[in-house]
Amino acid sequence: MYVVPTASNHNQSEQDDRVLVRQCLEGHTQSFRSLYQRHQQRVRSILYQLCDGSSLDDLVQEVFLRAWKGLPKFRQTAKFSTWLYRIAWNVASDQRQSLAKGRTQLQVLTNHASPHQEPPDVMNLHYQDLVRRGLTTLSLDHRTVLVLHDLEEIPQREISEILDIPLGTVKSRLFHARAAMRQFLEREGVQL
């Protein structure tokens, strides 16, 4: 059962994270395991929406490995989840760049001889698959903001901190991402 976080639940969660981070820095590895258990599902969801799902477990591990190594540099006044989602975004960006390089090398190797594939029958696609395909048509900037805000329900101000961009830029990217997604869905025959 999903519980809608209230302001007091949210504040308690932040306080619990701070205590766990402090314990980690004091050498309690079990506290990091608790942080992992609290945040891994959200990190996994963000990475799933931004990256190829085939290497998802490795990417989640990479996020938490970077978090563990970076914990001594973590500002205690910052929100742990915002910092962690920033790491997830960086891992997703690195993964996309790596895949793009791999695709370029593959295209050179195959001399552009890949056969043209027909798009799958939209009527047989599950809604999530359709949304996932739509997300892949967006730029990484637009896709990231749309995933974090509309799918992960992270507030715009926190997205601004995660991506280290002005709040106005978050709003602009969200507007353009939604418009592009709407156009994609309409082209696919979805009535909005």
pTM above 0.75, yes or no: no
Distance, CA of 108 to CA of 13 (rounded, Å): 49
Ordered structural domains, the chain, with CATH:
8-98 (1.10.1740.10), 119-192 (1.10.10.10)
What is the gyration radius of the CA atoms in the chain, in angstroms?
19
Per-residue pLDDT of the chain (192 residues; tens, 9 = 90+): 334 444 556 677 888 999 999 999 998 889 999 999 999 999 999 998 888 677 889 999 999 999 999 999 988 788 999 999 999 999 988 887 776 655 444 343 333 333 443 344 344 345 677 788 888 899 989 999 999 998 888 999 999 999 999 999 999 999 999 999 999 988 888 776
